[in-house]
Structure 1
Amino acid sequence: MIVRTAAEFLAAFATLPPNRPASARGAFLVAPLAFRLADESAQDNRYMAMQSSVDANAALAEHAELARRVGTALPTVTFPGNPETPDAVFPNNVFATAPGRAIVGRMRHAVRQREADRDDIRGFFRGVLRYREVDLSTLDGVAELTGSLVIDRARGIGYCGLSERCDAAGAAAMHDAFDLALTYCFDLAPGEYHTNVVMSVLAGRALVIAPDGFADPAAAAAIARAYAPRVVTLTPAQKADYAGNCIALSDSSVWMSARAAASLSGVQRAVLADAGFALEAVALPEIEKAGGSLRCCVGEIF
């Protein structure tokens, strides 16, 4: 079921208990080889620091430490980067999984569409994991996977923010590809490009959300009501520090960048702790100049 109103969402949410695996069994990353900022992506990603210089070696070091740290939480594979695809450090927008399925997204910009052609990543899922490939890359629409679609894996619920990076056709295609029970579609606020910057569902039992990232305040309020009282409500400044771009890599840990973690208040940290999550932070100042943060760097293997 795909719904567009807060009332429809809340009614459907009440019928969907958490009965699926809530967190991934593995992770995959793509190294930032020859890291730089892509002008094409900056057309609709206001979080990119286009006025800044970037240090490619520092980005590689940050990413290597991220891979090491993520590897302490769950099995992790890192694919090599490609100088022709500078945004590939954020692979979750292009490749994602559901149990037994490998999903390839339909990206808006040509610089990112090239990422979907990688035979090594496709081959890993098809040949090594024996997953069935669901290829949306030729879709007549836009579907930037778990950038545009935040998933409550425990309940099979997708939260799809419509923007230049995802349209109605893309939302419908992802609903089917991820085998979701419910998708709630809503418009992101003007200037927002991905849902995973404005919210995250943590292992099906807590929510981090930035209400100003939604075009309709009722949509954000309904989602917060569904997960109350385990809700961390972000200020615009905390959203800009990527606090919404976080992920539960296990049922007991939530991960975000050091910048994002530093922005949280004591009360917000207590909400996460009361929900049973230890906070893990990794410094990513160079990578964050490209307009994404820790969650964007981590592809999940279910």
Structure 2
Amino acid sequence: MITRDIAAFLELARGLAPDFGPATARAAFLVAPDGFSLAVQSAADNKYMAAAEAFDAERASAQHRALHRAFAAVLPTVCFAGDPQTPDALFPNNVFATAPGRYVVGRMRHPVRQREAARADIRGFFGQTLGYREIDLSTQSHPAELTGALVIDRARGIGFAGLSERCDEEGARLMHDALGLRATLMFDLAPGEYHTNVVLAVLAGRTAILCPNGFADPAVVEAIASLYAPYAMVASASEHAAFVGNAIALSQDTVWMSANAGRALTAESRALLAAAGFEVGTVELDAIEAGGGSLRCCVGEVY
């Protein structure tokens, strides 16, 4: 099922057992922020991006290495070289996504990001080294920015597709089919939001972080929160602005977010995450956040 009908989605989703697959990835991949700078095309529809003078490539590189070290202590994590011709490439989860036995190449909206989809080394890693089957969406016309636009509950096989200029309905359908999901709810993001994973995170299939100001329809927020109750964390505006919604669980017991996000967490939010069984792990990423994304945007998952 892929639908905009909230009631129909909930009726199906509530009956799904957490037996679709592993709730967290078995490995992760990153792309180094080589040549990190303002991507003018991407800035056209990403309100989170800073002005060009705020970019500090050296600091971003050091923070990215710290992120790699932190993740490598949790699960196998590989890092591909960056390319100054693709200044957004440090956010690879928009371009490459995986499901057991296959990898998907997304269709990026902006030409500067479409270049990333042509990388032979990343395609070779999945196709030749891991032996994954390729599903290539990059040559069709509908924007489908993978796990930027589509937040997935891997345990139950359900997706949440926020529609914007980075993902239309047909793009959502293509991603739903490519990743073999059981059910996907489509909904509009609020004006000015570019990716779902900035306003929604599903953690190990049992907890959700929602930033309500990022959704066009409050009923969608209520529906998703009901699905993960009592462990649905509804973020404040200040938590939203600090990228608390751009979080990820790479294991059953830790949620990772940027240090800025961690500092923005209220005591109530931190207590809810603890009650759900999560410690909060953080890495300083303020230089990277100038690029309009945060920690979860940096992480490609290998299932």
Matched to 1:112, the amino acid is: R
Determine helix, strand or coil for the equivalent of 1:68. Answer: helix
Q: Is 1:13 the counterpart of 2:39 in the alignment? A: no
Residue 200 of structure 2 corresponds to which residue in structure 1? Answer: 199
In structure 1, runs of 5+ residues without a counterpart are: none
For residues 5 and 52 of structure 1, the distance between their equivalents in structure 2, rounded to whole angstroms, comes to: 44
Shift of 1:52: 3.9
For residues 267 and 53 of structure 2, the distance between their equivalents in structure 1, rounded to whole angstroms, comes to: 31
Give every structure 1 segment of 4 or more consecutive aligned residues whose post-TM-superposition deviation is greater than 4 Å: none
Residue 251 of structure 2 corresponds to which residue in structure 1? Answer: 250
For residues 256 and 2 of structure 2, the distance between their equivalents in structure 1, rounded to whole angstroms, comes to: 29
Determine helix, strand or coil for the equivalent of 2:246. Answer: coil
Q: How does 1:109-188 map to 2 (within 5 A)?
A: 109-188=110-189
Q: Does the 8 Å contact 1:142/1:170 carry over to 2?
A: yes
Determine helix, strand or coil for the equivalent of 2:250. Answer: strand
Question: More displaced, 212-221 or 143-152?
Answer: 212-221
In structure 2, runs of 5+ residues without a counterpart are: none
Q: How does 1:10-159 map to 2 (within 5 A)?
A: 10-19=10-19, 20-50=21-51, 52-159=53-160
Q: Does the 8 Å contact 2:32/2:82 carry over to 1?
A: yes
Question: More displaced, 72-81 or 12-21?
Answer: 12-21
Q: Does the 8 Å contact 2:37/2:52 carry over to 1?
A: no
Question: More displaced, 232-241 or 151-160?
Answer: 232-241
Determine helix, strand or coil for the equivalent of 1:22. Answer: coil
Shift of 1:267: 1.2
Shift of 1:36: 0.4
Q: Does the 8 Å contact 1:125/1:131 carry over to 2?
A: yes
Q: Does the 8 Å contact 1:211/1:221 carry over to 2?
A: no
Give the aligned length.
302
For residues 122 and 103 of structure 1, the distance between their equivalents in structure 2, rounded to whole angstroms, comes to: 10
For residues 53 and 226 of structure 2, the distance between their equivalents in structure 1, rounded to whole angstroms, comes to: 39
For residues 117 and 251 of structure 1, the distance between their equivalents in structure 2, rounded to whole angstroms, comes to: 33
C-alpha RMSD of the superposition: 0.8
| Normalised TM-score (structure 2) | 0.98
Matched to 1:15, the amino acid is: G
Percent identity between the two aligned chains: 60
Determine helix, strand or coil for the equivalent of 2:286. Answer: coil
Residue 221 of structure 1 corresponds to which residue in structure 2? Answer: 222
Q: Does the 8 Å contact 1:26/1:301 carry over to 2?
A: yes
Q: Does the 8 Å contact 2:258/2:284 carry over to 1?
A: yes
Shift of 1:51: 5.7
Matched to 1:221, the amino acid is: E
Determine helix, strand or coil for the equivalent of 1:40. Answer: helix
| Normalised TM-score (structure 1) | 0.99
